Structure 1
Amino acid sequence: MSYAFPDSDPRPPHRPRRGPLTVAVAASVAAALAGWLVWQAVADSGEGGTPGAAPSSQQRPSTGAGASASPAPSDQGTPDESADEDKNDDKATGTTSSAPAATGPLKGKVVVIDPGHNPGNFRHTAEINRLVDIGTNRKACDTTGTSTNSGYTEARFTLDVSRRLRTLLEKQGATVRFTQDGDRAWGPCVDERARIGNKAHADAVVSVHADGSAAGNRGFHVILPGSVKAGIADTRAIVGPSRELGERIAGNFVRATGSAPSNYVGNGTGLVVRRDLGGLNLSTVPKVFIECGNMRDSKDAALLTSGAWRQKAAQGISEGIVSFLRG
């Protein structure tokens, strides 16, 4: 997801919270800062790219609301150097859905996971380029997503992380639903992705992505819905809980993966507010996007193509969701 947009908001001051919630958020933020300091001490931050600028041949607008495609890859992608590890990890974690656990801290909770894009989108350009209403304007139904320089696709990445995430959440007792599981030829459109979470009365929705920014731009960020009241979009009721969900995920993602918050958006917070994404604008339940890293940076790509790291990413997102739902 490239960043050339006017809709990012500076991080607003937190409103006072009470009781256990205050303690939980403080712990999350403290842990995130500690994790970031550790990362700074042991890893190359990859500074030096132009913030927000993607290479001209790969630049694309916002994921989930009309990103232009990188060159069309095969639906399976070209495995990176970690292909053997991918196979072993996929066998270990499994990619099929299992019944929710009979008991667990998330029993009775519904989580919708939205794996960004679809491996078949590039074969259906007419369908995914169709414009849909996102409240503030009309945008493309969906996009192909990005890929690493060696061809590992974002759509493949998002499905893998999402399936690992489902397994972890179901072990906690949650009912987990997907917007797509590689089981349809293309899509769904961004408006349908939002409706799936709404109709499920989800307690939390997370859309999983990876970015396609310039080399040198590194790190993860969580995208939060801005306050929108336009046309069919009204996010005012979900802005607060969505921020809480995003903060919990960001703090736990740092701890689980060792990755730092983005060095090119979010001013080091790992949090970005946007009003131009249909998947957020049309949601009526708490929802965030997470960009797990930048596929166009070689150092981030080495992480994103590692099955072991993707398991850590799923763990961090899962722990954030559990923390949010348990309050």
Structure 2
Amino acid sequence: MSYTGPDFDPPQQRRPRRGPLTVALAALVPGALLGWLVYEAVGGGPDGKDRTASPAPVPRSATVSPATPAASPGDDAKASASPSARPGGTGPLKGKVVVVDPGHNPGNFRHTAEINRQVDIGTNRKECDTTGTSTNDGYTEAEFTLDVAHRLRTLLERQGATVKLTRDGDSPAWGPCVDERARIGNTARADAAISIHADGSADGNRGFHVILPGSVHAGAADTRPIVGPSHDLGVRIAGNFLRETGEPPSNYLGDGTGFVTRTDLGGLNLSTVPKVFIECGNMRDSKDAALLTSGAWRQRAAQGISEGIVSFLRES
């Protein structure tokens, strides 16, 4: 997802640019480890490292200030969402529902008229979806997000969660639209939802950031009930993502906090369940692109996101 153009809210309670997320986590994690009970092992994927236990979550009391398209179905396929859902097994998250939203769709490149259709996001109207970005070598954001989503689904299912994807390998040729992506999470009554993305900024801009929903009460949108729990979810995901991947907080958004609050994203505005976006890195930066195209790194990214979600759900 690119940040050229759209407005977004500045991070709340800005911190200095010395990477406060990193400093805060360095102080919090050792203490949290002492009180954390090792729970059911979470294994790595085919390209990732095996883990025998999940690291400690960021404590709920922690205060981190938020401040080559793949083959797709036939071009005539309707873009109605057909989310993939598989029931969870036994484990600490049995009974919990997580919706994972892999950003964009490989077919969007061939369906610009359809994805440019305006939809209501509460505050205003925006395009149904966008093409997303890609690395300079042509590895698309849509391909990246689906790969991480599959890895994340496997990890969460091993914890007993039921995981639903807003799109999967058998999805329609384009979309779904951002309003439909939000509805999938709402209809599922998800306990947590996350939209996975990678940015398309300038070379030299690197790092991850988590996008939190701002307070919106307009039209069909009312995020007020989910702002608090979404913030909690975002803090936990950011902390675990940082520890697992070593990817620094963004050096070009969020003043080094790793958080951005926005009120112009339909996927957040229309959500009635706790939800955040994560931009895992910048596909246009050479250093980040080398990570994003690595299967082993994508496994660590999924691991970090999973641990953040598990931490949130075990405390909720």
Question: Normalized against structure 2, the TM-score is what?
Answer: 0.78
- Structure 2 equivalent of residue 118 of structure 1: 105
Distance 1:223 1:97 in 2: 25
Number of aligned residues: 259
Report if aligned partners of 2:106, 2:143 keep a CA contact under 8 Å in 1: yes
CA deviation map 1:36-75 (0-9, x unaligned): xxxxxxxxxxxxxxxxxxxxxxxxxxxxxxxxxxxxx433
Distance 2:27 2:242 in 1: 6
Deviation at 1:98, TM superposition (A): 5.9
Structure 2, unpaired ranges of 5+: 15-20, 31-67, 73-83
- Structure 1 equivalent of residue 236 of structure 2: 248
Distance 2:227 2:211 in 1: 11
Q: Secondary structure at the match of 1:7?
A: coil
Of residues 143, 153, 165, the one that matches 2:152 is 165
Paired amino acid for 2:235: E
Structure 1, unpaired ranges of 5+: 14-25, 36-72, 78-95
Distance 1:4 1:27 in 2: 29
- Structure 2 equivalent of residue 135 of structure 1: 122
Report if aligned partners of 1:224, 1:272 keep a CA contact under 8 Å in 2: yes
Deviation at 1:185, TM superposition (A): 1.0
Deviation at 1:32, TM superposition (A): 8.4
Change (3 A) 1:277 1:97: closer
Paired amino acid for 2:139: Y
CA deviation map 1:92-137 (0-9, x unaligned): xxxx976522x21111100000000011111111111100000111
Is residue 156 of structure 2 the alignment partner of residue 156 of structure 1? no
Is residue 298 of structure 2 the alignment partner of residue 297 of structure 1? no
Deviation at 1:31, TM superposition (A): 4.1
- Structure 2 equivalent of residue 75 of structure 1: 70
Correspondence list, 1:142-221, <5 A: 142-183=129-170, 184-221=172-209
Distance 1:271 1:74 in 2: 29
- Structure 2 equivalent of residue 275 of structure 1: 263
Change (3 A) 1:76 1:302: farther
Measured on the aligned residues, the alpha-carbon RMSD in Å equals 2.3
- Structure 1 equivalent of residue 11 of structure 2: 10
Deviation at 1:5, TM superposition (A): 4.5
Q: Secondary structure at the match of 1:210?
A: strand
Quick one: percent identity of the two aligned structures? 75
Distance 2:260 2:252 in 1: 11
